[in-house]
Amino acid sequence: MPPLFITFEGIDGSGKSTHLKRAAEWLAQHGVASRQTHEPGGTPLGDALRQLFLDHRWGALDGTVELLMLFASRRQHLLEVIEPALAAGEIVLCDRFTDSTCAYQGRGRGVPLELIDQVDLVATGRRRPDRTLLFDLPAAAARARRHGDRPGDPGGQRAVPGGRRGRADRLDAEDLAFYERVRQGFLEQAEREPRRFRIVESGGDPARTASQVRAALEDLLPAGVVRA
């Protein structure tokens, strides 16, 4: 197997984290091991930065302050986890990477993309994944999934068990318009780099989404490794 760097992107509640785990299981069933990791975080320093990033105490942070913290975490993640794993021939499945920063801090918070690009150049040398799966759905549907607001589920149980969203964090306070801007930001990036991106519709049946995920990964794997 060649080393592969694959990222899972989308707004909060898009199902990307759940489908990342499923993709890893599917690969494992075909004898393909993978390393699962996530941002912000993925390293001890990065996890500490993530805690600060999500902390309620700061209120609304300036987008460029967020940007610098996120790229500090990202560079540490690249140096400590991602590049060593790829150098050892592993397949890396990463929940969020630079595309999230462009979508959230760029489109969401209004930080100019040229400015993000400058910091990206310093922090990662403009490192891009081999493939990026974008989990797309309307912001309202993602929020309903985050909050567990399903018909017949008035108790507001979380719809995504096992996720890392045990309690409300700083971003949970953002409104729908923010998340819809972020969604559009992701879609614009996918349009700019169609060879790298695969858009996965994640608003409907999870089984159908999972099948789109497999289709988006199959052509990366050597022939004969997986049979649909």
Measured CA to CA, the distance from residue 86 to residue 25 in angstroms comes to 19
Q: What is the chain's alpha carbon radius of gyration, rounded to the nearest angstrom?
A: 17
Max distance between CA atoms of the chain, in angstroms, equals 52
Rounded CA separation 32/226 (Å): 9
Residues numbered 48-87 forming contacts with its own copies, rule: CB under 8 A: 48-49, 52, 55, 57-58, 61-62, 64-65, 67-69, 71-72, 75-76, 79
Q: Which stretch binds its own copies (CB under 8 A): 5-13, 97-105, 111-119, 137-145?
A: 111-119
Q: How far is the CB of 31 from its own copies (least distance, A)?
A: 35
What distances in angstroms separate CA 15 from CA 46, 50, 132, 140, 160, one per listed residue?
22, 20, 14, 14, 8
Which residue number, 68 or 168, has a Cβ lying nearer to its own copies?
68
What's the min distance (Å) between Cβ of 114 and its own copies?
10
Residues of this chain, 10-49, that bind its own copies according to CB under 8 A: 44-45, 48-49
Q: How many residues bind its own copies (CB under 8 A)?
A: 26
What whole-number distance in Å separates Cα of residue 25 and Cα of residue 19?
10
Smaller CB distance to its own copies: residue 80 or 188? 80
For residues 78, 81, 83 and 87, what is the CA-based torsion angle, rounded to 10 degrees?
A: 180
Positions touching its own copies (CB under 8 A) are: 44-45, 48-49, 52, 55, 57-58, 61-62, 64-65, 67-69, 71-72, 75-76, 79, 115, 118-119, 121-123
